[in-house]
């Protein structure tokens, strides 16, 4: 298995650096293999070229090192949820509640609150669109469980992200706090706890997305265009992967699968619901 690489884009305002986007890349594919929502970017080792670009132009983008503990945790998780010897090709996208780069979480939150209160930071900078979110098969929540009453804006941005996730209907998971709606960060501060966290996340992922698949039928027809014969078309979901495709009976070789929620696309808004009828094989289906 080839070693994954990490890519980031950065801007600099005053003495502060903001990471506006990041992903970890396996192989050559640009498809999403998942996403995560964390607190904020921590440390990132930038090469001299990126530092020069930040200092002179105020922005930079390029490959960054993956030796960061959080990056290592995410890489370990992705490689463990894939079968042994299975080729991984795609991107894990990393989102943050806020983009300010700061290694210590409490200091980062206090600084974020101050920057927002002084008008130096737009709280919506980290938000994405629902179209961005539906391109991912799932999102791992791990923004941390520490919360202080004084952190009003932190709670606000959590609520905004939660609204986006709910609207997009993207499946979520994470190690949730027992008493509140917060999720433990995937990289504990104590190094000896990190392998245990990866195992916990793998177990949570497996229970939600993998367990009991053998008891499910493979495909579910979600929407129908109301036509018959060669004109009939359906939106079908692969229940094992969560991906959807446009399906014409008798033309299984034409299937092209998407992570997007095709059944809720405006283009098929006038199609009929098909009652979530499920099948083990699409080839015998005629209509």
pLDDT the model gives residue 73: 96
Strands (E), the chain: 5-13, 16-26, 32-38, 59-64, 90-96, 139-142, 172-173, 219-224, 234-238, 244-247, 272-279
pLDDT the model gives residue 285: 81
Which residue range(s) make up the domain with 271? 215-279
pLDDT the model gives residue 167: 92
pLDDT the model gives residue 52: 86
- pLDDT(230) > 60: yes
If one compares 287 and 146, the residue with the highest pLDDT of the two is 146
Phi, psi of 133 (to 5 degrees): -65, -40
Whether 243 and 257 have beta carbons less than 8 Å apart is answered as: yes
pLDDT the model gives residue 87: 81
Domain boundary among 164, 183, 210: 210
Reported as a pLDDT band with limits 50, 70 and 90, residue 128 is very high
In a 3-state reduction of DSSP, which class is residue 144? Answer: strand
Average pLDDT over residues 65-73: 88
Domain boundary among 210, 230, 249: 210
How far apart are the C-alpha atoms of 175 and 98, rounded to whole Å?
Answer: 20
Whether residue 107 is found in the same domain as residue 154: yes
Report pTM: 0.74
In a 3-state reduction of DSSP, which class is residue 205? Answer: helix
Domain boundary among 193, 210, 227: 210
Whether residue 132 is found in the same domain as residue 229: no
Q: Which residues contact 212 (CB under 8 A, 6 or more apart)?
A: none
For the chain, percent of residues with pLDDT exceeding 90: 54
Nearest CA among 119, 167, 127, 161 for reference residue 142: 161
pLDDT the model gives residue 51: 84
pLDDT the model gives residue 46: 76
Whether residue 253 is found in the same domain as residue 120: no
Whether residue 253 is found in the same domain as residue 148: no
Average pLDDT over residues 189-201: 95
- pLDDT(44) > 70: no
Q: Does residue 180 form part of some domain?
A: yes
Whether residue 264 is found in the same domain as residue 125: no
CA triplet 162, 168, 171: central angle to 5 degrees? Answer: 80
Radius of gyration (C-alpha) of the chain in whole angstroms: 21
Task: Provide the token pair at 176.
Answer: 């949730």
Whether residue 60 is found in the same domain as residue 191: yes
Reported as a pLDDT band with limits 50, 70 and 90, residue 143 is very high
Nearest CA among 37, 105, 34 for reference residue 75: 34
- pLDDT(8) > 90: yes
pLDDT digits (tens, 9 = 90+) for 162-193: 999 999 989 999 999 988 889 999 999 999 99
pLDDT the model gives residue 281: 87
How far apart are the C-alpha atoms of 252 and 280, rounded to whole Å?
Answer: 13
Whether residue 193 is found in the same domain as residue 238: no
Whether 117 and 177 have beta carbons less than 8 Å apart is answered as: no
Instruction: Give the containing element (helix H, strand E) for 77.
Output: helix 69-81
pLDDT digits (tens, 9 = 90+) for 245-277: 999 988 888 888 887 788 888 899 899 888 777
Task: Provide the token pair at 86.
Answer: 């299975």
For the chain, percent of residues with pLDDT exceeding 70: 94
Number of domains in the chain: 2
Whether residue 147 is found in the same domain as residue 15: yes
pLDDT the model gives residue 207: 86
């Amino acid at each position: 298995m080839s070693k994954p690489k990490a890519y980031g884009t950065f801007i600099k305002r005053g003495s502060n650096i903001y990471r506006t986007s990041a992903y970890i890349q396996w192989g050559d594919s640009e498809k999403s293999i998942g996403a995560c929502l964390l607190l904020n970017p921590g440390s990132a080792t930038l090469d001299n070229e990126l530092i020069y670009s930040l200092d002179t132009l105020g922005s930079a983008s390029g490959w960054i090192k993956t030796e960061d503990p959080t990056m290592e945790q995410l890489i370990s998780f992705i490689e463990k949820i894939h079968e042994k010897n299975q080729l991984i090709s795609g991107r894990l996208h990393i989102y943050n509640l806020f983009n300010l780069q700061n290694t210590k979480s409490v200091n980062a939150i206090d600084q974020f609150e101050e920057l927002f209160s002084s008008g130096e930071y737009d709280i919506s900078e980290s938000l994405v669109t629902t179209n961005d979110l539906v391109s991912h098969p799932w999102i791992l929540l791990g923004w941390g469980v520490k919360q202080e009453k004084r952190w009003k804006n932190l709670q606000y941005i959590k609520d905004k992200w939660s609204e986006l996730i709910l609207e997009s209907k993207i499946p979520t998971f994470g190690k949730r706090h027992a008493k509140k709606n917060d999720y433990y960060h995937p990289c504990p501060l104590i190094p000896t706890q990190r392998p245990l966290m990866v195992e916990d996340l793998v177990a949570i992922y497996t229970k939600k997305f993998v367990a009991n698949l053998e008891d499910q039928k493979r495909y579910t027809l979600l929407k129908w265009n109301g036509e018959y014969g060669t004109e009939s078309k359906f939106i079908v979901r692969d229940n094992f992967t969560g991906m959807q495709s446009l399906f014409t009976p008798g033309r299984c070789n034409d299937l092209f699968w998407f992570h997007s929620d095709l059944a809720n696309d405006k283009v098929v808004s006038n199609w009929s619901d098909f009652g979530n009828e499920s099948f083990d094989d699409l080839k015998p289906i005629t209509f």
